[in-house]
Structure 1
Amino acid sequence: MIRKCPNHGVFRGTECSKCGETGSLILDNEQTERLGRFISGALRHFPDDLGLAMNQHGWVDLDVLCDAMRTRYKWANKEKLFSIIESDEKKRYEILGRKIRARYGHSVDVDLDYTENALPELYYGASREEVDILLEKGIKPVKQRYVHTSTSVEKALEVARIHTDDPILIHIDAAEAQRNGIRMLSATEYIVLSEWIPPQYLRLL
């Protein structure tokens, strides 16, 4: 659920982690899940189905998204949309003026315009079944526009454990890859995107 603390703004859960206030309810658990899935689908996977004109960098008009949202969910409004964005610990979305986009996770064809990654090393978690293939052929996106790599060992393990109980970590020589023309984009503090990472920049950690 999402609630609003009078002192610290929106938060997820039953009480504000900063002051313990329960605040006022904005979205219950079911509404949070349903609206979250709608926003993800609209900004990552099927904007055309909702009449959203997405530009090459993934941006859509915020008001048009709100209109599409209210058509499907009569109880939804812009405040509830903003509460989803602001309380999201993974920072999946960003708003700029009257535009909104997903930071990562796209299956539609977008050309994200983030700054180049500045970290010399990145990490990717894989299952034991797939690691040999990745080391041989490189890491390519599956059902997504970009490969999602992690900026730390801890984050790579956290992501990999969603799919496997026994993840294997792959070290990525990002500095060398970028020197040789592999584009890597900093989507968030923890996620770097790439279209493909060739095998010569990979090794087991």
Structure 2
Amino acid sequence: MVRNQTKISKYLAYLLRHNPSGMKISREGFVSLEELLGKLRKRWPNLSEKDLQRLVKEDSKGRYEIKGREIRARYGHSIDVNPTLPEAKVDKLYHGTTYEASQKILEEGLKSKGRQKIHLSASIEDAVEVGKRRTSNPVVLAVNVKGARRAGIRVEKASDKVFVAHRIPSRFISKSSK
């Protein structure tokens, strides 16, 4: 793998989630591999398609997907795309956040802010890691996906660790014991 793997991954996320920067992007969020490689090679001239494929395959959060000659981010978009994802087949998920935000979420529910969908974690441990981006002592909230699904709320599986939804009303959220 080329050096600067973290920097390449961050720039890849930026391009595919927030600013395709002149690349043609489909409603599903796909861009041409060739077009994307052209952008990436302006910063990393020796980056090969194999390097990019390896980066996608080894991404621990399953953020990216390659289909044929196209690539996309599965979740985390602030741009107007709508990737089709499979419905979640789980009963419970988790959300790690700050104490202050948890109080508001328990009252108002989970709403996307700055992105198209909210992110939920498959495990308490993953939710703790997500929450640690904002605080050293995150609060983990449990989401009753089964109940939300019965109420007509769609929760989608973006990867093995990350699930997404447009919103989750507060009645389906409780404080989890870590």
User: TM-score, normalized by length of structure 2?
Assistant: 0.92
Offset, 1:188 = 0.8
Separation in structure 1 between the aligned mates of residue 162 and residue 57 of structure 2, nearest angstrom: 18
Higher relative contact order (CA 8 A, sep 6+): 2
**Of 70, 95, 103, the match for 2:74:** 103
Offset, 1:86 = 2.3
In the TM superposition, what whole-angstrom CA distance separates every residue of 1:52-102 from its partner, at most 9, and x where no partner exists?
Answer: 111111111111111222234323232222232122222221101111011
Give aligned-pair identity as a percent: 32
Aligned to 1:27: 2
Separation in structure 2 between the aligned mates of residue 85 and residue 115 of structure 1, nearest angstrom: 19
Separation in structure 2 between the aligned mates of residue 171 and residue 33 of structure 1, nearest angstrom: 30
2:161 is aligned with 1:190: yes
- Give the number of the structure whose alpha-carbon radius of gyration is greater: 1
Secondary structure in structure 2 of the residue aligned to 1:130? helix
Quickly say closer, same or farther: Cα 1:34–1:170, change in 2 above 3 A: closer
Separation in structure 1 between the aligned mates of residue 136 and residue 43 of structure 2, nearest angstrom: 37
4+ residue runs over 6 A deviation = none
Counterpart residue identity of residue 112, structure 2: P
2:9 is aligned with 1:39: no
**Of 77, 82, 105, the match for 1:134:** 105
Separation in structure 2 between the aligned mates of residue 171 and residue 120 of structure 1, nearest angstrom: 10
Q: Which stretches in structure 1 are left out of the alignment for 5+ residues?
A: 1-25
Separation in structure 1 between the aligned mates of residue 131 and residue 103 of structure 2, nearest angstrom: 16
Secondary structure in structure 2 of the residue aligned to 1:129? helix
C-alpha RMSD of the superposition: 1.4
Number of residue-to-residue matches in the alignment: 176
In the TM superposition, what whole-angstrom CA distance separates every residue of 1:19-72 from its partner, at most 9, and x where no partner exists?
Answer: xxxxxxx322xx22332222111111101x2x2111111111111111222234
8 Å Cα contact 2:61-2:160 kept in structure 1: no
Aligned to 2:58: 87
User: TM-score, normalized by length of structure 1?
Assistant: 0.80
Say which is worse superposed, 177-186 or 84-93, in terms of deviation.
84-93
Secondary structure in structure 1 of the residue aligned to 2:100? coil
Separation in structure 2 between the aligned mates of residue 83 and residue 196 of structure 1, nearest angstrom: 33
